[in-house]
Structure formats: C-alpha cells, structure tokens
Amino acid sequence: MKKIKLILLTALVFALLNCKKDKDEPLPKIWKYSTFTDSRDGKTYKYIKIGGKYWMAENLAYKTPNGSWSYWETNTYGSKFGYLYTWEAAMIVAPTGWHLPTDDEWKQLEQTLGMDQLEANRLGIRGTSEGNKLKTEIDWVDNGNGTNEAGFSALPGGFRSNPGIFLEMNSSGFWWCASETNNSQAWFRIILSYSTQVGRGIGYKGEGYSIRCIKD
C-alpha cells in the first residue's frame, strides 16, 4: 500500500511540475512557413499563407541602385529589418513571381484577421487586435510586442523621411501599398508599438518604407 501511495504521490508531483512549466514557459507557436530564394542575391525568405494569399513573412532586403536604404545606412539593420524603399523603388523591386500588394490586398489581409469591411475602408488607425496578430513577439519597445498569431512577423523597422532622416526604429513599422492616390502620394500601412491596431494612411512617395511582397 505504501509503495502504491508513493507512486501516486510521485506522479502527482511530476504532473504539477509539468503544469507549472507549461504555465511559465508556453509552447512556441508553430507556423507553416515555406521559403523561396531571391535569384538576384541568393537571399532566402520565409512566406506564409494567410486568407488564401501567400505573403512574405520577412521584410524585403534587396539593395537597389537608387531609392533604398538600410536604417542609419547600417548593414546590420538592413539584414534584420529589411531595406526602406521609396514608392517608385518598391514598385519595381519585388522578386520574380511576387509583387507589391495593393491597398485592397492589405484590406483582405486585415479582414481575414477580423477587421470588418467598413473599418478596413477607413483612413487612420482602425480595427481592434489585427496589428497585434501581425507583430512579432520581440523587438517592439514599451511592451508593444504582439502575438504574431498570423505568422506575418511584422517588424518595427521605422522609416526614412523625405529629408533623409531615419526615425522610429523599434517603435513602428511602415509598409508601402502599390496603390497610389496621386502623382506624389500612395497608400501605406503602419503598425505602432503602443497600439494593437493597423493604420492606413497616405505617404509621400519619396519617403522610405519597408515592403512585404505577395505571391503573384
């Protein structure tokens, strides 16, 4: 009898320890990533299917002759966060078989994550938790990390202003859309460290933003 009690007690302690471990150290999320290699420079990128579309799960990091910069012109940042592109450069830099997503394709992504159509069509910060579902779980300042539920792994790569000033690394991420509003401006998306939402705005084409490509 004592032996049986000891076995049961050992099993109970083991179970409790496992429960505590699971609580303190949640199991990592497992996303179904695929990869492709950019034939121009041999760099390999992850991509993932979200709402029937294949999206890159990393910012593009291909250096163009004109209109692209790594943050502070430092290769370390370019390798991790990708390059920042003018809109004109963003329109032609996608690898073969990929393209810069339109404003409507971004809306489809956001609606897949729970944003309603009326909200998706708005200008400014919209939605509820869609930004959190897109953000990485690290690198965002002021407790702004996301859940990365979608596996999109949005990074806070900041941006480059028209005068050439680098701003907001680790606190925001900007991404160009292929849709323009006039000769000098185009749509973009912004995700902020202090918000769980996604912003939709209009930026000057000469500014430098990150890009995510979508499969043709």
Centre a 10 Å sphere on the Cβ of residue 102 and count the other Cβ atoms it contains. Answer: 14
| Model confidence band, residue 4 (pLDDT cutoffs 50, 70, 90) | very low
What value does the mean pLDDT take over residues 185-205? Answer: 98
Q: Residue 97 pLDDT more than 50?
A: yes
Contact 177, 188 (CB under 8 A): yes
| Model confidence band, residue 115 (pLDDT cutoffs 50, 70, 90) | very high
Between 76 and 138, whose confidence is greater?
A: 138
| pLDDT > 70: percent of the chain | 87
| Distance of alpha carbon 31 from alpha carbon 58, whole angstroms | 14
Contact 44, 58 (CB under 8 A): no
Res 26: pLDDT: 41
Q: Residue 6 pLDDT more than 50?
A: no
Rg, the chain, Cα only: 21
What value does the mean pLDDT take over residues 176-203? Answer: 98
Res 8: pLDDT: 33
Res 24: pLDDT: 34
**By C-alpha distance, which of 151, 158, 156 is closest to 139?**
156
What value does the mean pLDDT take over residues 80-100? Answer: 98
Q: Residue 199 pLDDT more than 80?
A: yes
Res 76: pLDDT: 87
- 66-75, 109-118, 188-197, 205-214, range with the lowest pLDDT: 66-75
3-state secondary structure 108-132: HHHHHCCCCHHHHCCCEEECCCHHH
The string of pLDDT tens digits covering residues 123-139 is 999 999 999 999 999 99
The structure's pTM equals 0.86
Res 118: pLDDT: 97
Contact 141, 155 (CB under 8 A): no
